[in-house]
Structure 1
């Protein structure tokens, strides 16, 4: 039996793909210890893993959170950069507090999200074999590239971070790290929760990358078996778990689809109360969150922000998309979905109710979108998912 330590960011989109992998490892008799903030204890312990808390709250700092108010896409990039700087700065206090905790566990392997610099440093300090888990679309980019786009490498902020990182590395005898060198994290194994076929240029990735597709521990069911009514047009609208403070967008959806033939499920998150949106059309069902995979099994079209998890779950269910991106990564994912013929990407800045309705109707009425989504569905379901990831992790730990 091998022992694994997982580290992750306290963000659902980064945690969710790992849960089925953890559960599969434990089912096979392996031991897993998972580090996250306390609020995720129940979610992790449900998998059978041992939970360990670390003291960090990604979105609790009002001054660093890019998600506390409504915003335009350019504002997001700046606020995200400040948040990334805050995360790097936390290395100085969190790494020393966690090194001894991990050392005491004596793990065979350390697994962590590609953005989790602390875990990378801990693995190098303790010389533990490591695997990077990649839950983002751009696998070649520096995970902190946005920070460098907003703040130049000569800026006071970047220079301060580099100075503090140099002190931390000197303390533990590591080679010097700088913010613009984070692209160099290329261990022997990186597991990406995306199918190789979804990448624009898969040939650039060598054998160190394993593409397992979405990691979903659920049995897919034929969509028609769960349809409320075979003749009913089912529309699902959701912007993920973070980008949900969007009252203006939700009202635009009311205008686009209210009193139409569409049966609409609208997920609004926890930052808004339904009453704040005003009267909802009769054909809308509104909730903070829906069980997404279950809903997708009965959905005709998914209107999404274009987050990787949401897009993978939609295509895994054979559902074409209309994507309204929030970030540059969402833009890239939306572009790729459109290139593959499985949906349409819209621009939020110029979005109108009429434009959104026309896009949804086009995807619904042109059968090529559903056909292409069905072809991608087969590819995603054959990519291996959590079982293939667990196979690779166990093989790597026993080398």
Structure 2
């Protein structure tokens, strides 16, 4: 009997990457593999909930998962004012400090990660992160890079710089952003390269913290929003997916006191929920619109006192199942949320606050599958108008119907799992 290959999935400490990996793991399991998860502190139980075995990196921050969560909530709360800045202005205020924190994490977990990989002895490691861990390259098996952020993470002369929120025609802006990005990340990049050197890994060029895998790279970039590249990526080494939407439990829409009109879902991710002032302002506008609003407020339900009859708050939702029943999805531009909206043919109103949200917001607008809406400079009238306009944009819905058909006909999770298993078989 052939032994089922063990595939270790190591997502970054965020729900976007983690739940994307759940979709791939579900299909790996369906195809006979044994997927397991390596968990950062604070994510214990997240993957077990889907029936997967977890291996936990030790707690290193005050010895508690709560302390880890408090640390990151404090980090984001400190940077809330910076989320109202342009992508260029965020480089010194948010992006540079975030890279410093990411490098700290990579260095801190390296030994423990290596010990876990020695214990698991996987047939392949799937890394869904923005930074490389040398221990993965030394695990004695192929490793796979998953690009679950925007496609801009893989640079190309014809593709706008990562995190810039620029389109392909702004050549001057692209050059200026790239220079500024390299300048503001220079300190963390040099520190990271020194760490790599000590671990026997080659240095990376300025601005890059994660190299492509020599074996396999999976990009969650649906055809509908894919960039035209000057340098074509090898089809053998780089596999584009039509999203990677996980299987979730069915969701029953709750009864609203006012139970009429289309359903609109709002979620700004686990970090965006911290901005309760923004969501409170939006809820005041929702009360004036003839629709039902389902709002993910994370662990901050107690921050909201007066809830309109057409609004329902929750701390977690099985998002793909909710989006499938929605007429509009208002989100932050995280790649999971963006791909789920496309997969189900739902228009996006993207209010980006950081990272690849800027890139996805621009791409949604350029490709006519959603609109970008500034998270700071809006009025009740402008938000109401934008929502009503999207609800009545029949041309966009026609485009999205075709996009949804393409994505559902070519399952991203199936292609990802098959590509990984083909790699394992080849390596064996």
1:75-86 correspondence to structure 2 within 5 Å:
77=91, 78-86=93-101
Q: Indicate whether 1:140 and 2:171 are aligned.
A: no
Count of equivalent residues: 389
Higher deviation after alignment, 299-308 or 144-153 = 144-153
Residues 160-187 of structure 1: CA distance to partner in whole angstroms, max 9, x if unpaired?
4443443333xxxx43457645354342
User: Structure 1 stretches of 5 or more lacking a match?
Assistant: none
Distance 2:26 2:249 in 1: 18
1:26 to 24, 29, 32: 29
Question: CA 1:213/1:67 → structure 2, altered by over 3 Å: closer, same or farther?
Answer: farther
Match of 1:163 in 2: 194
Match of 1:65 in 2: 75
Deviation at residue 284 of structure 1 after TM alignment: 1.5
Match of 1:315 in 2: 342
Residues 242-295 of structure 1: CA distance to partner in whole angstroms, max 9, x if unpaired?
11122332232233231431222222221x334x34422222222223332232
Q: Is the 8 A contact 2:144 2:213 kept in 1?
A: no
State the secondary structure of the residue aligned to 1:281. coil
Residues 32-88 of structure 1: CA distance to partner in whole angstroms, max 9, x if unpaired?
332113543323234443311113677543698234563232486533432322322
Q: Indicate whether 1:187 and 2:214 are aligned.
A: yes
Deviation at residue 26 of structure 1 after TM alignment: 2.4
Q: Is the 8 A contact 2:8 2:38 kept in 1?
A: yes
- Compute the TM-score of the two structures, normalised by the length of structure 2: 0.79
Q: Is the 8 A contact 2:301 2:313 kept in 1?
A: no
User: Structure 2 stretches of 5 or more lacking a match?
Assistant: 60-64, 156-160, 165-176
Q: Is the 8 A contact 1:321 1:343 kept in 2?
A: yes
State the secondary structure of the residue aligned to 1:15. helix
1:1-399 correspondence to structure 2 within 5 Å:
1-55=4-58, 60-61=70-71, 65-67=75-77, 70-73=80-83, 74=85, 77=91, 78-118=93-133, 121-137=134-150, 138-141=152-155, 149=180, 152=183, 158-169=189-200, 174-176=201-203, 180-182=207-209, 184-201=211-228, 204-207=232-235, 208-218=237-247, 232-270=261-299, 272-274=300-302, 276-399=303-426
Larger RCO (alpha carbons 8 Å, 6+ apart) = 2
State the secondary structure of the residue aligned to 2:292. strand
Residues 181-203 of structure 1: CA distance to partner in whole angstroms, max 9, x if unpaired?
53543423111223133212267
Residues 127-151 of structure 1: CA distance to partner in whole angstroms, max 9, x if unpaired?
4211111111123149899999567
Question: CA 1:48/1:153 → structure 2, altered by over 3 Å: closer, same or farther?
Answer: same
Q: Is the 8 A contact 1:25 1:390 kept in 2?
A: yes
Question: CA 1:364/1:112 → structure 2, altered by over 3 Å: closer, same or farther?
Answer: same
Distance 1:92 1:240 in 2: 26
Q: Is the 8 A contact 2:329 2:349 kept in 1?
A: yes
State the secondary structure of the residue aligned to 2:43. helix
State the secondary structure of the residue aligned to 1:6. strand
State the secondary structure of the residue aligned to 1:13. helix
Distance 2:349 2:106 in 1: 39
Distance 1:87 1:114 in 2: 10
Residues 362-396 of structure 1: CA distance to partner in whole angstroms, max 9, x if unpaired?
11123112212212111221232212211111111
- Compute the TM-score of the two structures, normalised by the length of structure 1: 0.84
State the secondary structure of the residue aligned to 1:394. helix
State the secondary structure of the residue aligned to 1:266. strand
Match of 2:62 in 1: none
Higher deviation after alignment, 131-140 or 85-94 = 85-94
